[in-house]
Structure 1
Amino acid sequence: MTEDRTPPAQHQDQQPGSEQQMRPHPVYITDRYRGAGKLKGKVAIITGADSGIGRAVAVHFAREGANVLVSYLNEEEDARVTCAAIEAEGSEVISHAGDIAERANCQALVDKAIEAWGRIDILVNNAGEQHPQDNLEDISEEQWEKTFRTNIFAMFQLTKATLPHLKEGASIINTTSITAYKGNPVLLDYSSTKGAITSFTRSLSINLAKRGIRVNAVAPGPIWTPLIPSTFGADTVSEFGGSTPMERPGQPAELAPSYVYLACEDASYVSGQVLHVNGGTVLNG
């Protein structure tokens, strides 16, 4: 996973982007990762699970024995690949397409999981979107609201819908970002939502501690996912990850084990924390 440095120049015209069109394809799991039954018998809901980070987390969870509900927006082909990979690990999978910025879709995800498996043990709030703009004046109110609705409003809505079914020992994991800690000059609205996610994670962890439900987050740095070529121009993509101390983007497979750790009993005394997986950038937060 470390042979290639930055990716070749490329661009996709539509978000959330297609993993099938990326060159090289992201690495979402390797033979080096050996499951140990850490999530055996558990049920997980993962948003944005058709590709990228969500796919990697879903397949790693499956390798650890979990059944997975794959939530995604509209990338049907990517979702089929993810579902097939989960089934190949011997786990059950359900997929659900729809915009989680709409409250009814959040409730539908929860209802599907309960109908199929009768329980929910892990919620991974991972879906997100970003739209670069050079200046604050270039960000419309519509864009600002849309980014917040997808990245943080949906997280609130889905967590609220899931909570009645979470029992002691359950785990909620939110995907925040390095941008919440160091900012990004062209991702003002995205970075703001990620800061909100970090604060939501910390506050909710305290709120749910007495119920025995852990809440944590992962803050990725530059990870090679479809969101990158569908967000940035080809020249920017060709330099992606090059400014990290490791001088390369990370692969989803290098990120997913941190979600496994936070989901399983190995992290039974961990809540309100953020794991930074970012290629060596030192952050104090």
Structure 2
Amino acid sequence: MADQFPQGAALIFGGSGGIGQGVCDAFARAGSAVAIAYHSKRDVAEARCREIEAAGGRATAHQLDARDEDSMRAAFDAVVAAHGRVHTIVWGAGPLVDQVLIAEMTQAQWRRALEIEVFGLFTATKVAIPHFREQGGGSFVHLGSAGDRWWPAMDGLSVAPKAANEALIRGLAKEEGKHNIRANSVLVGVIEAGMFLELQKQGVFDEAWTRDVHGKLCLPRWGKPEDIGAAAVFLASNAANYITGQQLSVSGGFGV
């Protein structure tokens, strides 16, 4: 599948997270170089690079703060220096999300969610668009939330910021298509990795919650990181070269 992408790398924000690692692996298996953007998990990011390279792929790790434009630009420049080109931005950065009702959210929680997820993606687009235009095109893949279609109570600190990003993705598709730049979203359901496992360990998601959510699924089981990776690879690849401004829900049929 190496011919499914231009030369260069997929830059994966949040690539050191549970889902992000699965996305990195999927791009590497599909023949793309991978650049893992991380905030604090240096050991995880570098270990994932070693595993990808041991399997015959190419990967680099790049530390940044998504809230800081200078940090974003420096990391992007380092990726281009290492790989020659970025062909895809996968946006999967985000903090561990507190599960609270809207009425109980604090200003600090709301501001943090917006700064990382919404301002972060906006800054990434500002950095990437000139490069994509110069290279004759590129692709944005946003890892959104299946809650965009059916609101899950208490998950607003994740769903609402991602909903803002959904609008931005549609805007990118509309405005940048003339430059052969595509933008799409993967709506992520409950994936057995990362944040879900951490909140499950904390007791936030108990057996009653599991029964309730399974009742809203057509496929009553949790997804895997590789499920999200496969969808992201498809949307970034030449196989999806006439798809833009769209949402692909990978959620077991959540809310159908």
Cα distance in 1 for partners of 2:109, 2:204 equals 24
Could you say which structure has the greater relative contact order, defined with CA pairs below 8 angstroms and 6 or more residues apart? 1
Cα distance in 1 for partners of 2:8, 2:100 equals 44
Contact 1:221 1:277 in 2 (8 A): yes
Q: Does 1:214 align with 2:182?
A: yes
Cα distance in 1 for partners of 2:218, 2:175 equals 36
Aligned residues: 249
TM-score, with normalisation over the residues of structure 1?
Answer: 0.81
Decide whether aligned partners of structure 1 residues 144 and 42 sit closer, same or farther in structure 2, where only a CA change above 3 A counts: same
User: Which amino acid counterpart does residue 234 of structure 1 have in structure 2?
Assistant: G
Q: Does 1:196 align with 2:164?
A: yes
Could you tell me which of 262, 268, 274 is aligned with 2:241?
Answer: 268
Cα distance in 2 for partners of 1:50, 1:136 equals 29
**Alignment-derived partner of residue 14 in structure 1:** none
Alpha-carbon distance, 1:164 to partner: 1.3
Could you tell me which of 3, 11, 20 is aligned with 1:45?
Answer: 11
Contact 2:99 2:155 in 1 (8 A): yes
Contact 1:181 1:195 in 2 (8 A): no
Deviations 1:38-90 (A, max 9, x none): 23633111001013221111111112221111011212332233112221332
Contact 2:38 2:45 in 1 (8 A): yes
Moved more, 221-230 or 124-133: 124-133
Moved over 6 A (4+): none
Contact 2:62 2:79 in 1 (8 A): no
Decide whether aligned partners of structure 1 residues 169 and 282 sit closer, same or farther in structure 2, where only a CA change above 3 A counts: farther
Cα distance in 2 for partners of 1:281, 1:274 equals 14
**Alignment-derived partner of residue 219 in structure 2:** 246
Alpha-carbon distance, 1:98 to partner: 3.0
**Alignment-derived partner of residue 234 in structure 1:** 203
Cα distance in 2 for partners of 1:172, 1:235 equals 32
User: Which amino acid counterpart does residue 187 of structure 1 have in structure 2?
Assistant: D
Decide whether aligned partners of structure 1 residues 36 and 165 sit closer, same or farther in structure 2, where only a CA change above 3 A counts: closer
Cα distance in 2 for partners of 1:235, 1:188 equals 15
TM-score, with normalisation over the residues of structure 2?
Answer: 0.89
Give secondary structure in 2 for the equivalent of 1:182.
coil
Cα distance in 2 for partners of 1:219, 1:158 equals 19
**Alignment-derived partner of residue 112 in structure 1:** 78
**Alignment-derived partner of residue 5 in structure 1:** none
Which stretches in structure 1 are left out of the alignment for 5+ residues?
1-34
Could you tell me which of 103, 107, 110 is aligned with 1:141?
Answer: 107
**Alignment-derived partner of residue 252 in structure 2:** 279
User: Which amino acid counterpart does residue 58 of structure 2 have in structure 1?
Assistant: E
